[in-house]
Amino acid sequence: MKIAIIGTGYVGLVSGVCFSDFGHEVVCVDKDPAKITRLEAGEVPIFEPGLDDLMARNVAAGRLTFSGDLAEAVAGAEAVFIAVGTPTRRGDGHADLTYVMDAAGEIARAISGYTVVVTKSTVPVGTNRQVHDAVRAANPQADFDVASNPEFLREGAAIDDFMRPDRVVVGVESDRAAEVMQAIYRPLYLRDFPIMTTDLESAEMIKYAANAFLATKITFINEIAQLCERTGADVKMVARGMGLDGRIGSKFLHAGPGYGGSCFPKDTSALARIGQDFATPMQIVETVIKVNDGVRRRMVDKIVDLCGGSVNGRRIAVLGVTFKPNTDDMREAPSLTVVPALVGQGARVSVVDPQGRHEGEALLPGVTWEEDPYAAADGADVLVLLTEWNEFRALDLTRIADSMATPAMADLRNIYTPESAREAGFTAYASVGRTSYGIG
């Protein structure tokens, strides 16, 4: 199959590389010339484990190319995937479909021969029909179908998720489009990964419902964590006891500083707006959004409490600023709430992150960047664990406590235990949903 991918971000680039690895001939298109220049030079513009090797292999095999010329890429393709961003629209919380509709218009003018226009971006119910109408309006002669193919990959594990998905969802309206989509995903079909064919609306809804459910699960355990702190229960034990129930499952039950990232905040917001538009308020999702905002703000309070009520003039070392480990993505990261609040209240903040500096420097003004956690913690009053990168999971806590001005830790990912912190010499320790000590 000849495939064009429009948008080479976290989803477009991973999809393009993986489709080429399936054996298809893929052109990845982006309107950002700097990205295309880097890709053509063999550089991967994002951090995603394993992506550089897989990309190099498929470029070398002649199956994968990059281009800024959308029209040329589309003209030669049997399927065109729209993988552009759908951020929250300023002001009203809806998904901003500008990029999707712009891409649809450009694709329409370039279509030649039968083409399936596939939306991989996360889009509100009804968008694929809008894409269909926009293509038809711009090019009445075009021979095409639309398909909805929402993406479920997780940043940090994107290649494995794409190559070994729990399921692939394909919304189509014609057998012809279904056949093209089946041909594209045949390598997965042959290995028995479930490929689910639906109508357009159900495919669009599955993506929002799945993300909203996961955001709800995280928020549920975060709210239980607050109650654990008041009652003396340990949320890690509670989550384990819940998760061993096969009906519940243990994933997404880790209490922490609130969900963030490129998807959950915008997708919960968009789903709430879709509900309002259809006079069917999504009350659970609306509450989840509110509770999550509160959870994030509470993390600042924990750090302030560790400092005895004020962070003014205090030195705080923050370990991890990306929204989760194994990505350089900073979108809606908890650090964007926590760090500016600390800086705003007069704290002197040093920050370390294995991949976050490139994006983070512009987003977190007024902080000092360090290269390793020990340098960041040296002379600090509080150590804050904000993203659970592997390199922060086995720190020499005694060395860190010894080097700090006042050894206190806000373990916002529950990586360590109160006992291990105490043994290492920390005089105060707070985590999420477990007993703290040395505060107040």
Chain contacts with ligand NAD (rule: CB under 6 A) = 6-12, 29-32, 35, 70, 83-86, 99, 102-103, 106, 121-122, 151, 153, 155, 262-263
- What's the closest the beta carbon of residue 90 comes to ligand NAD, in angstroms? 16
SS3 content of the chain, % helix, strand, coil (to 5): 45, 15, 40
Angle formed by the axes of helices 200-231 and 235-243, to 10°?
140
The whole-angstrom separation of Cα 145 and Cα 127 is: 14
- What's the closest the beta carbon of residue 305 comes to ligand NAD, in angstroms? 33
> Which of 153, 163 has the CB closer to ligand NAD?
153
> Which of 387, 406 has the CB closer to ligand NAD?
387
The whole-angstrom separation of Cα 139 and Cα 125 is: 23
307 is an active site residue: no
338-371 core/surface letters (b: 16 or more CB in 10 A; e: else): bbbbbbebebbbbbbbbbbbebbeebbeebeebe
Give the torsion sign (CA, 233, 416, 253, 250).
negative
> Which of 120, 236 has the CB closer to ligand NAD?
120
Looking at beta carbons, which residue is closest to ligand NAD?
Answer: 9
- What's the closest the beta carbon of residue 228 comes to ligand NAD, in angstroms? 30
- For the record, the structure tokens of 228 come out as 């654990």
Pairing of strands 315-319, 2-6: unpaired
The whole-angstrom separation of Cα 383 and Cα 412 is: 10
- What's the closest the beta carbon of residue 171 comes to ligand NAD, in angstroms? 15
> Which of 105, 425 has the CB closer to ligand NAD?
105
* Cβ count near 160 (within 10 Å): 13
> Which of 84, 300 has the CB closer to ligand NAD?
84
Query: Letter for the amino acid at 288?
Result: V
The whole-angstrom separation of Cα 201 and Cα 274 is: 13
- What's the closest the beta carbon of residue 227 comes to ligand NAD, in angstroms? 31
> Which of 99, 389 has the CB closer to ligand NAD?
99
Query: What is the arrangement of strands in the sheet containing 115-119, beginning at the earlier edge strand?
Result: 64-67, 25-29, 2-6, 79-82, 115-119, 144-148, 168-172, 195-198
* Cβ count near 309 (within 10 Å): 9
> Which of 124, 407 has the CB closer to ligand NAD?
124
DSSP states of 209-264: HHHHHHHHHHHHHHHHHHHHHHHT--HHHHHHHHHTSTTT-STT----S---TTTH
Active-site choice (28, 228, 263, 307): 263
The whole-angstrom separation of Cα 422 and Cα 438 is: 10
> Which of 45, 407 has the CB closer to ligand NAD?
45
Of the candidates 267, 263, 257, the one whose C-alpha atom is nearest the C-alpha of residue 219 is 257
Query: With left for phi above 0 and alpha for psi between -120 and 50, is residue 252 left, alpha or beta?
Result: left
46-73 core/surface letters (b: 16 or more CB in 10 A; e: else): bbbeebeebbeebbeeebbbbbeebeeb
Which residues are catalytically annotated? 263
